Amino acid sequence: MLEICDFIFLFSGCISIIYTRFEGTHEAIIDKETWEIVQKSREHRRRPTKMGEMGLFSGLAYCADCGAKLYHHRSITLTKEQESYICSNYQSRKKCTAHYIRAVVLEQLVLQNLQRVVAYAQEDENEFVRRVMENKTAVQRAEQEQAKRKLEKQERRISELDRIIQQLYEDRVSGALSAERFAKLSGGYEKEQEELKQSAKELQAIVNTIETQAVNVQSFLKIVRKYTAPTELTPALLREFVEKIVVHAPDKSSGHRTQRIDVHYNFIGEIDFSPEYSRVSRQTTT
């Protein structure tokens, strides 16, 4: 009989036996990309409103200022055109501004952004990959290079500490070093080495970001190839493409109400390589 954990691992293409996981030993029932999307969807399950319905963007829309999820506001007295999303911290504790945006406007903006991204990717996949890979700020690239240099320095120090600790052990065995002195010195060096190993692990994750992103772009393109030109947003389509949507506070400084949203896609994050295909900002009405 398969345990629950065995059944889950079977779907992702591996077998679990007595809590031991063996990768690649069984053909996956679903591909890795679909598996990851499903897991993200489970993490952001939509909750029904008091009226028994679930908002299209529930669990996906976030406040740009406080990071809280946006609350789907609707009631029997509101028409579909009047339904909206507002920051949950404003709704419950007034700890943030409302970040109010009408549901139909948000749907229109996200669909518009998705259509442009899909069209661009389908038009020239190689160019799309190149532009997405270049979608890193100078700060991010500098941080990666800095992390790489720091990692190399730490790895050299870790190797040096191995040699020092080995020499201390040999000195202790030969009697050139007392037990008390050996314990004090080796303890300090071992502590430093453990801290360096932990730091090196974190730095390695930063250094690997570029390689990971290259794989993620291809995963995103696999989803794009399944569609021609999306004409409407459905819960399934939205969660297959979109990781999260960040809604900014409205800006009325120009005399018109404009509001910016940032669409972050599964596997590749936010598309920000040109004004046409990046952040969406448009005039809205209250």
Tell me the per-residue pLDDT of 54-84, one tens digit each, with 9 for 90 and over: 789 989 999 999 999 999 988 888 888 999 9
CB 85 within 8 A of CB 55: yes
Q: What is the pLDDT of residue 145?
A: 83
Digit-coded pLDDT (tens) for 22-32: 555 656 666 66
Digit-coded pLDDT (tens) for 228-273: 889 999 999 999 999 999 999 999 998 999 999 999 899 888 876 5
Q: Where are the alpha helices (DSSP H) in the chain?
A: 4-11, 32-43, 88-92, 103-123, 125-133, 138-174, 179-207, 209-224, 235-241
pLDDT above 80 (res 153): yes
Q: What is the pLDDT of residue 168?
A: 92
pLDDT above 50 (res 17): no
DSSP letter string, 128-184: HHHHHHT---HHHHHHHHHHHHHHHHHHHHHHHHHHHHHHHHHHHHHTSS-HHHHHH
Confidence at 21, pLDDT banded by 50, 70, 90: low
pLDDT above 60 (res 158): yes
Q: What is the pLDDT of residue 60?
A: 94
Q: What is the pLDDT of residue 214?
A: 58
Return the amino acid letter for 177. Answer: L
